[in-house]
């Protein structure tokens, strides 16, 4: 077996792992939302305290991050769905071009989270949020969900890897690393 053939298999394996992670994130997001909307009936509950700083609290998010760009009409919902779908498609294309497993895993978290929220927006017209982190009355975030957390962690992984893998001074002219992890 040639080195190129082995490398091709590795890259395919990395991408399959990443798409599997995206699918798992999507499934967990869907499962938790189904549990909270079904048997737990969070929709008809004010809040369920889990920890002194964390409650489950149902809310409908008609916008995107931090509730910005709220879609208040069917046309705006369709436009927001199209934009978020285009972003998810861009992430898929990036995943198909990316080789490094660490970057692929960051992208997988973003894709899985995006698909979870896109599903909600397509089916309901809004995203179900339920995770309420608070310290007394102070909330460092708006109410969020697992999909939002996955997107955030995915972006943080991509940023950290980007900052930590920059070319070192004096490395100019050296071939790029063929790192696969």
Label each residue of 103-133 as H, E or C. HHHHHHHHHHHHHHHHHHHHHHCCEEEEEEE
Instruction: Say how far apart CA 120 and CA 43 lie, in whole Å.
Output: 15
Question: Is 64 in contact with 143 (CB distance < 8 Å)?
Answer: no
Q: What does the chain come to in residues?
A: 181
The residues carrying an active-site annotation are 129, 148
Q: What share of the chain is helix, strand, coil (3-state, %, to 5)?
A: 60, 10, 30
Instruction: Say how far apart CA 119 and CA 6 lie, in whole Å.
Output: 37
């Amino acid at each position: 077996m040639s080195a190129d053939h082995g490398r091709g298999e590795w890259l395919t394996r990395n991408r399959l792992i990443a798409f599997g992670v995206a699918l798992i994130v999507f499934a967990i997001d869907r499962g938790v939302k189904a549990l909270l909307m079904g048997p737990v009936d969070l929709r008809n509950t004010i809040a369920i305290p889990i920890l002194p700083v964390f409650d489950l609290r149902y809310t409908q998010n008609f916008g995107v991050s931090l509730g910005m760009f709220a879609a208040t009409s069917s046309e705006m919902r369709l436009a927001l769905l199209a934009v978020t779908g285009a972003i998810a498609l861009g992430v898929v294309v990036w995943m198909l071009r990316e080789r490094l497993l660490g970057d692929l895993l960051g992208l997988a978290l973003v894709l899985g989270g995006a698909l979870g929220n896109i599903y909600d927006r397509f089916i309901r017209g809004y995203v179900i949020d339920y995770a309420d982190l608070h310290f007394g009355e102070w909330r460092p975030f708006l109410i969020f969900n697992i999909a939002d957390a996955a997107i955030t962690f995915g972006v943080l992984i991509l940023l950290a890897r980007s900052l930590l893998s920059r070319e070192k001074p004096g490395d100019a002219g050296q071939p790029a690393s063929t790192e696969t992890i």
